[in-house]
Amino acid sequence: MPRSSDAPPRRPILSSARRPPTVTIPARNESGELVPTPIAGEYPLTLYVDRREIVTLMTLGTAPEALAIGWLRNQRLVASLDDIASVQVDWESDAVAVTTRHGLRDADERLGTRTVTTGCGQGTVFGGLMDEIEAVHLPEERRLTQATLYALMEAVRHHESIYKQAGAVHGCALAAPDGDACRILMFVEDVGRHNAVDAIAGRMWLDGLDGGDKIFYTTGRLTSEMVIKTAQMGIPFLVSRSGLTQMGWEIARRVGLTMIGRAQGRHYLLFTGEERFSR
């Protein structure tokens, strides 16, 4: 019997193959003393879809199933969570095997063209995304206040993170305004910011979260890749403690994204989407 279009998406069968975020190695300090030092993990994870090798991602390994789902979502290779039957991670072979219900969307055409982006760890954006960004419509009625922005920055500052232990990672957060306060719904760190945003995209699908009333925060710079992925998740607000690129700025203006950079302490720069922001 065909499923109703109003039925919630079927949740795929998932492995649970989380890697520990850090490993401890010996190092010597300036006095010659041996100091056990936590460092960020980094592992290759090759993505196979229906037995077809797609891409190898370098990852921290803390959310590999969500990363695989979010990567496929943000590359527009699957249209919904319902397209994915299972996601199985095997660290012995450094692979994640995704089985779909109907195959990848326009796979040959989309995988035939790719752009290696400025994302650390060699982010890759496959063909067609720049064309499809024109179809993105972000909610115009949403507003972000300066008080909520400050609350977000304070919440991120106090959040426990791998970066505080080991450095060498980027973090991304999905947050929800609550009056002038702000709640962090999820916080993901990885060796590349594009991995962290993909993992959040995957978790949003798995948890059935809509992006229209959310804020996306990243520690990394605001490149075209970050802007496109945020817009594809339907999130109208993008905040970073870092700067931006020209293409990131141009795409944010085109899709009507409110983009704020260099946000630390009580300082920030509002680059685009001023109509949604109030002081």
Q: Please identify which residue in the block is written with the tokens 């075209």.
A: 224
Beta partners for residue 235, in sequence order: none
**How much is the pLDDT for 3?**
61
**Cβ within 8 Å of residue 184, ≥6 positions away:** 152, 155, 156, 159, 173, 174, 175
What confidence category does residue 36 fall into, taking pLDDT thresholds of 50, 70 and 90? confident
Q: pLDDT by residue (tens digit) across 216-265? A: 999 888 888 889 999 999 999 999 998 888 888 988 889 999 999 989 98
Residues of the chain with CATH 3.40.140.10: 144-278
**How much is the pLDDT for 126?**
47
What confidence category does residue 129 fall into, taking pLDDT thresholds of 50, 70 and 90? low
Q: Which CATH number fits domain 144-278: 3.40.190.10, 3.40.140.10, 3.30.450.40, 3.90.1170.50?
A: 3.40.140.10
160-168 long-range contacts, CB within 8 A, separation 24+ = 161/187, 161/189, 162/21, 162/22, 162/40, 162/60, 162/189, 163/189, 163/219, 165/22, 165/38, 166/21, 166/22, 166/37, 166/38, 166/39, 166/40, 167/40, 168/39, 168/40
- The residue type found at 24 is T
Question: 13-134 belongs to which CATH class?
Answer: alpha beta
Q: pLDDT by residue (tens digit) across 9-26? A: 789 999 999 999 888 888
Judge contact between 243 and 137, C-beta under 8 A.
no
What confidence category does residue 151 fall into, taking pLDDT thresholds of 50, 70 and 90? very high
Residues of the chain with CATH 3.10.20.10: 13-134
**How much is the pLDDT for 107?**
74
Among 237, 181, 192, which residue's Cα sits nearest to residue 214?
Answer: 237
Stated pTM of the model: 0.82
pLDDT at 153 over 80: yes
**How much is the pLDDT for 5?**
59
Q: What share of the chain is helix, strand, coil (3-state, %, to 5)?
A: 30, 35, 35
Q: Give the chain's radius of gyration (CA, Å).
A: 19
- Burial class of 114 by CB neighbour count within 10 A (0 to 12, 13 to 18, 19+): middle
Q: C-alpha angle with apex 139: 138 to 141, nearest 5 degrees?
A: 145
Q: Which residue has the higher pLDDT, 93 or 5?
A: 93
